[in-house]
Amino acid sequence: MFAIAFSGGKDSWACLQLYKDQLKDITVLWVNTGKNFPELLESINLAKEICPNFIEINTDRDAQNAIYGIPSDIVPCANTAYGETVTGKVKQKIQPYFQCCYENIAKPLHDKAKEIGVTHMIRGDRKDESHVSNRVNGQLVDGIIQIHPLENMTKQNVLDYLATVMDIPKHFDFEHSSLDCYDCSAYLKDTKDIAEWAKVTHPDLYKQRMNKVIQIKEILTNSMKDAF
């Protein structure tokens, strides 16, 4: 069984368009974190219209964050869920961003793929991305062959291709065009464009994110004082 790991961003849309004539035989998997920008939900609804086999996987990100903390690019050991068992209860727990993404997006998608018998997973991974998975095209990962049709394409290549097959949403120009967690407090260096855009277009959602970022900055500042 073939499946597409779909996020609603430019790369997964490029995969969808590349395999558009085969979608009746392909399952499209999307993980709904419940924290999506409206623009992403519009993108998802468009995909649902052309995908006869679309599966939405719902995750409780807030519940996971309540246990492990809010995601961050820099994590003080004492503020992790594990650190708290050693150093005592903290006001705010923090977790590495990759843990949050893995447990709330990557793992639920992989688990669903295994459950329904996926043998080949099509992903929009590109070598020129700032965060590059160690998966490669053709690799067997836990019984599922990884297919990366965009592996050697650049961001501009993808946008140029999409321009020939669909109307491109404005947010596709963002480096991280999968707008799946509007209140994510990580990826700060790589999402400055999204932050500036959200500040104007979605001020309430922007405020939710910045409240978490401010908490993290305060904790990091105090941690650095104590450490040095």
Q: What is the CATH number of the domain that holds 151?
A: 3.40.50.620
Q: What pLDDT, on the 0 to 100 scale, is given for residue 171?
A: 85
- pLDDT of 143 higher than 80: yes
Number of Cβ within a 10 Å radius of residue 220: 17
Distance of CA 214 to the CA centre of its chain: 22
Mean pLDDT, residues 16-36:
96
Confidence of residue 136 (pLDDT cuts 50, 70, 90): confident
Confidence of residue 197 (pLDDT cuts 50, 70, 90): very high
Q: Is 199 domain-assigned?
A: no
Q: Is 48 domain-assigned?
A: yes
Q: What pLDDT, on the 0 to 100 scale, is given for residue 225?
A: 79
Output the DSSP codes for 122-191.
E----TTSSS--S--TT-EETTEEEE-TTTT--HHHHHHHHHTTSPPPGGGGSSS----BTT----TTTT
Mean pLDDT, residues 132-147:
87
Q: What pLDDT, on the 0 to 100 scale, is given for residue 211?
A: 96
Q: What pLDDT, on the 0 to 100 scale, is given for residue 175?
A: 79
Q: How many domains does the chain have?
A: 1
Query: How large is the C-alpha radius of gyration of the chain?
Result: 19
Give 43-93 pLDDT, tens digit per residue.
999 999 999 999 999 999 999 999 999 999 999 998 999 988 988 888 899
Q: Is 155 domain-assigned?
A: yes
Mean pLDDT, residues 148-164:
94
Q: Is 152 domain-assigned?
A: yes
Phi, psi of 50 (to 5 degrees): -110, 0
Q: Is 225 domain-assigned?
A: no
d(CA 26, CA 20): 9
Residue range of the domain that includes 46 = 2-180
- pLDDT of 133 higher than 80: no
Q: What pLDDT, on the 0 to 100 scale, is given for residue 98?
A: 93
Which residue would you say has higher pLDDT here, 216 or 136?
A: 216
Q: Which two tokens stand for residue 33?
A: 């974190």
- pLDDT of 129 higher than 80: no
Give 159-187 pLDDT, tens digit per residue.
999 999 999 888 888 877 678 899 999 99
Q: Is 196 domain-assigned?
A: no
Which residue would you say has higher pLDDT here, 19 or 226?
A: 19
- pLDDT of 121 higher than 80: yes
Q: What pLDDT, on the 0 to 100 scale, is given for residue 88?
A: 86
- pLDDT of 226 higher than 70: no
Q: What pLDDT, on the 0 to 100 scale, is given for residue 11?
A: 94
d(CA 135, CA 110): 14
Q: Is 74 domain-assigned?
A: yes
Q: Is 17 domain-assigned?
A: yes
- pLDDT of 227 higher than 90: no
